[in-house]
Structure 1
Amino acid sequence: MNHKKLSTRILIQAAMMSAITIVLAQFHLFQLPQGGEISLGTMVPLILLARTHGSKITLLAGFLCGLIGLLLNPFIYHPVQVLLDYPLPYMVMAIVALFRSHLYLGVTAAFTLKFLCHFLSGVIFFAAYAPEGMSPILYSATYNATTLVPDFAICCLILRLLPLKRLTAELSTAK
């Protein structure tokens, strides 16, 4: 949002991108037993929002996506775990806005932060799920990489196939 005025149009676009994100999150290609799934490019709408309107509006949209995700599929163990597993993984997509001329570097940074959120949640709150004799750190890293690496690759593929210049131009100038 960098020096843009927060308008009704921008708020509506943020709400629409949030809705698309939540809908995409419902389509799972693969799901792990304790949560985590490979989806159909769930983060692409938030990435587009970050490129178009900046980090502030994407933080807001990501927070909204996290709250809706929590309402749709709640797994509450601890308040900090809720933050690490619900709003923060969506909100970190805002970092893409800092990499305007290097989209894939921004997406890599965003997914690295998303991985870190889930990894920390796994180490701190779900270490008991690690197989006997396996380090909770290794378990959490492996478990979360199983879904996040394919999700990252799918998002990059979708972004590669989309007409990004046209989409971002339309989003930023639509009246």
Structure 2
Amino acid sequence: MNNFILKFKGIDFKSISEGFADAPKHPTAIFAVIGLLILAFIVLKLRKVKLTTSIMTQIGVALALGTVLKMVKFYQLPNGGSATLGSMVPILIIALFYGPEIGMLTGLLFGIIDFILAPYIMHPVQVLFDYPLAFTALGVAGYFKDKKKPYMLLGIILAIFSRFLFHFISGIVFYGSYAAPGQSAAAYSFLYNLSYIGPEGILCIIVLAILPVKQIYKVMNKPSMSN
């Protein structure tokens, strides 16, 4: 017991408490830690992924289709973000086909591709939240794999909201200076990100409500198709 006490005698608990008190003054550092923890969680999840040739092919097709749809824009906002022709649909379909892990992997790859093709950089942490993490979040839909259509649609809504949440946080921390006088950073970020994710999200929900996802999965995974 005495040895245990001696080990802690040299620790300056006052400095530690002051450090925690000053933490809110450095939101970038806080969100950097949060982002890295989320990324570590994703990496641990992806270690469970077992990829077959068929799955890799379907992921490749989804990424290619998503990239093409991403290029078809209804409108582009000045500080990044655009409403596209349902570019999230292929990623969400893969998540609904194979579950959250493969859905997250596909979203992560899509986020990297989107950053390469149309980078908008203000800070490394902003890049982390707006690209890899935001699109990886679409894999949340995979938790509703094999569910009935209404629950699948609920999963899609939660996945799109999860993506929105990462953009929303990024907007508060890094884009708050663009807010109008008297407007809070949170209000600005909410309205800005909703203005493009909202319409595109609704389009994706409508498309996936119409598409026979389970039937497409069965067709894509017939022995003749897999070979």
TM-score norm. by structure 1 comes to 0.93
1:127–1:4 distance in 2 versus 1, CA, 3 Å: closer
The match for 2:108 is 63
Are 1:171 and 2:220 an aligned pair?
yes
- State which of 130, 149, 152 in structure 2 corresponds to 1:85: 130
Q: Deviations 1:123-170 (Å, cap 9, x if unpaired)?
A: 001111111111010000011111111111100111122222321212
Aligned pair partner of 1:158 in 207, 212, 217: 207
Unaligned ranges ≥5, structure 1: none
Alignment pair present for 1:136 and 2:185: yes
Describe the superposition over 1:92-131 as per-residue Cα deviations: whole angstroms up to 9, x where unpaired.
1111111121111101111111111000010001111111
Q: Secondary structure at the match of 2:221?
A: helix
In structure 2, the partner of 1:126 is 175
Q: How many residues align?
A: 174
Q: Does 1:113 align with 2:158?
A: no
1:18 — aligned with what?
A: 63
Q: Which has the higher contact order (CA 8 A, sep 6+)?
A: 1
Q: 1:171 deviation in Å?
A: 2.7
Deviation at 1:4, TM superposition (A): 7.9
Mark the runs of 5 or more structure 2 residues left unpaired by the alignment: 1-45
1:36 maps to 2:85: no
Map of 2:38 onto structure 1: none
Larger radius of gyration: 2
The TM-score with structure 2 as length reference comes to 0.72
Partners in 1 of 2:95 and 2:221 — Cα distance?
Answer: 11
Distance 1:87 1:10 in 2: 21
One-letter amino acid of the counterpart of residue 212, structure 2: P
CA RMSD of aligned residues (A): 1.7
Q: Deviations over 1:66-93 (max 9, x none)?
A: 1111111111111111111111121111
Residue 76 (structure 1) aligns with: 121
Question: Could you tell me which amino acid in structure 2 is paired with residue 111 of structure 1?
Answer: I
